[in-house]
Amino acid sequence: MTIAPDIETKLVRLIEQNETLTLENKILREEVAILKQGLFGRKSERLDPGQLSFFETSASADSEEVEAPAKKKQEKKTGHGRAPFPPNLPRDVVELDVAEAELLCPCCDKPMKRIGEDVTERGHCVPARVVVKRYVRTNYACPDGHAVKTAELPDGVIDGGKYEASVYAHIATSKYADHLPLHRLEGIFKRHGVHISKQSMWDMLVRVDELVAQPVLVQMRTELLEESVLHADETPVTMRLEDGKGTKNGYAWGWRNLHRKGDPSKALVEFRTSRGRDGPARFLGDWSGTLIADGYAGYDEVIRTNAIARAGCWAHARRKIKEAVDTGSSNAEGLLVLVQKLFAIERPINEQVQAGEIDRERQLEMRRAAREEHSKSVVDAIYQEAERLDGLRSTVPKGKLGKAIGYLMSQQRSLLALLDDPRLPIHNNDAERDLRHLAVGRKNWLVFGSQRGGEVACRLYSLVLSCKQCGADPEEYIEDVLMRVATTPASEIATLTPWAWQAGRSAS
């Protein structure tokens, strides 16, 4: 039977359309599955034991079994108990005594003697309140009218200012540490009988930025660029246009040093109006070292120009594979379990560091040995499995599994960097965690009011995040530095960084 040429052409076209629609349908189903997972699924990327039959896949059967370093067996705890209140909290002592009429023994009527005391502590909350400091200065005059003397007024944040430094610090901390929008703060102050308008609070935040954030961040950046390894990440933030007509995306760029137990963690956030390559280029200048980042191409130019070594993030790779698993791709299960093995190898070492059982040098020794003996073979198995999956007809390049494999392949060089450098962590989660603080606040304040608003916010976020990392109270820090920065010589500005300030407080 002969098929007419026009019918054959239509048949071929229909087959091609069917294949295209099938692929598009698969991709759309994956997108729907990811949206459902985001709304209703568990957020953790770790797998529960027995959650999936990963080890029955061909990938796990063909890969070499890897044992993680032995973990110290811990005794099972029966309960967490009731934690005592910290000793640094102020105590109000309330003396309670038995009435004198009741101090006779109920059996023999003899007077009872004091044999000790029981102490019970209960937390008591003192609501915030605004106190007006009223300065009364005595005036003195010469009897003959030659001169007049008046006691000096303590310095304020600004000449003739209405509020003490504590109010400036409280507003900055409430907005950038506790994520309270200014209109909510305005209502809170009204409850305390004080009216501070949103515009007045914004002016106060600008003053904190000018007096504290800008000079201190210059020093913070200088010290950060003295590090040989840096983390970097960025997140979009909606910004209103200056003319008030519409919005656009700005970007908060986060930078931090390696997390080393016992050493200060230094975090800095910069605001840029774009996600272009000029962001990292301007911040890094001529810095050269190792940069830990995701696969974003915006870092490529400065990495090439400055001969920077690039290290990748396995957490990003795992997240993309997990998305493929969540969309029902059973082929991705074996690949995911291999990546999980990579994390499991180093988890016991990290736990020992957190518990204070090993120091930094020992951590690096153990990490180097674990990566040479175990991690390298797991990484080889990961890429063998990725190549196998890439060759399958069912792997759609634009699908979740295809994108996960594409990320592994395009970032292979940076993902393998940790095998040669034990200083490098397996992920970039520390930088992501810093920007997550900003993302949480974004749910409250929604947008930056302007470009300048974004710049001020990110500089103050830098102070708050660094205080958080080094254990300093941001409100105490900002209040103290506000009053000291004007009298601190430029040569001593390093003493006002959050980590140096906290170290000075701890030493005293």
Any domain includes 222: yes
**Number of domains the chain is built from:** 2
> 42-46, 126-130, 157-161: lowest mean pLDDT where?
42-46
| Structural domain ending residue among the three candidates 393, 410, 425 | 425
**Does a structural domain hold residue 129?**
no
- Structure confidence at residue 461 as a pLDDT band (50, 70, 90): very high
pLDDT for position 43: 58
Structural domain includes residue 471: yes
CB atoms within 10 A of CB 316: 21
Q: How far apart are CA 348 and CA 32, in angstroms?
A: 37
Indicate whether 465 pLDDT > 90: yes
Residue 355 lies in a domain: yes
CA–CA dist 119, 260 (Å, integer) = 40
CB atoms within 10 A of CB 37: 16
Given a cut of 70, is residue 70 above it in pLDDT? Answer: no
- Same domain as 433, residue 303: yes
Is residue 206 assigned to a domain? yes
- pLDDT computed for residue 176 by the predictor: 96
Q: According to the model, what pLDDT value does residue 172 have?
A: 97
* 413 and 502 in a common domain: no
pLDDT in tens, 11-65: 777 777 777 777 777 677 767 766 766 666 665 665 554 544 444 444 343 444 4
Last residue of a domain, one of 425, 446, 474: 425
pLDDT at 341: 94
Q: Look up the pTM and report it.
A: 0.82
Sheet holding 267-272, edge to edge: 267-272, 247-257, 229-240, 290-292, 309-311
pLDDT of residue 64: 44
pLDDT of 234 above 50: yes
Query: Are the beta carbons of 336 and 426 closer than 8 angstroms?
Result: no
Asked if residue 211 has pLDDT above 80, the reply is yes
Give percent above pLDDT 70 in the chain. 88
Residue among 288, 294, 290, 287 nearest 310 (CA): 290
Mean pLDDT of 218-236: 95
What is the rounded distance in angstroms from the CA atom of residue 279 to the CA atom of residue 275?
A: 7
Do both 434 and 417 map to the same domain?
Answer: no
User: What's the pLDDT tens digit per position in 326-381?
Assistant: 888 888 899 999 999 999 999 999 999 988 899 989 999 999 999 999 999 999 99
Same domain, 319 and 403: yes
Residues 323, 414: one domain?
Answer: yes
| Residue 299 and residue 437 in one domain | yes
Residue 343 counted as domain residue: yes
Percent of the chain clearing pLDDT 90 (strictly above):
60
The reported pLDDT for the residue numbered 59 is 39
The residue among 364, 391, 425 that closes a domain is 425
Q: pLDDT tens digit string along 167-191? A: 999 999 999 999 999 999 999 999 9
Where is average pLDDT lowest: 66-70, 76-80, 144-148, 263-267? 66-70
Residues 295 and 260 in one domain: yes
Looking up tokens 């913070």 gives 220
pLDDT for 54 equals 42
Band the pLDDT of 73: cuts 50, 70, 90.
Answer: low
Q: Let me know whether 363 and 405 are in one domain.
A: yes
| Region 139-149 average pLDDT | 92
Question: Domain for residue 179, yes or no?
Answer: no
| pLDDT band with cut points at 50, 70 and 90 for residue 453 | very high
Question: 283 and 335: one domain?
Answer: no
- Domain residue limits at 329: 315-425
Type of residue numbered 170: H
The model's confidence at residue 161, banded by pLDDT at 50, 70 and 90, is confident
Q: What is the mean pLDDT of residues 388-412?
A: 90
Backbone torsions φ then ψ of 205, nearest 5 degrees: -65, -40
Does residue 60 belong to any structural domain of this protein? no
C-alpha angle with apex 286: 281 to 288, nearest 5 degrees?
100
Residues 458 and 385 in one domain: no
Average pLDDT over residues 155-161: 87
Q: Do residue 420 and residue 432 come from a single domain?
A: no
Q: What is the pLDDT of residue 1?
A: 54
The predicted pLDDT at position 317 comes to 94
Name the burial class of residue 89, with classes exposed (0-12), middle (13-18) and buried (19+) by CB atoms within 10 angstroms of its CB: exposed
Residue 303 shares a structural domain with residue 321? no
Phi-psi region of 132 (alpha: psi -120 to 50; beta: other; left: phi over 0): beta
Mean pLDDT of the chain: 87
In contact, 403 and 320? CB cutoff 8 Å: yes
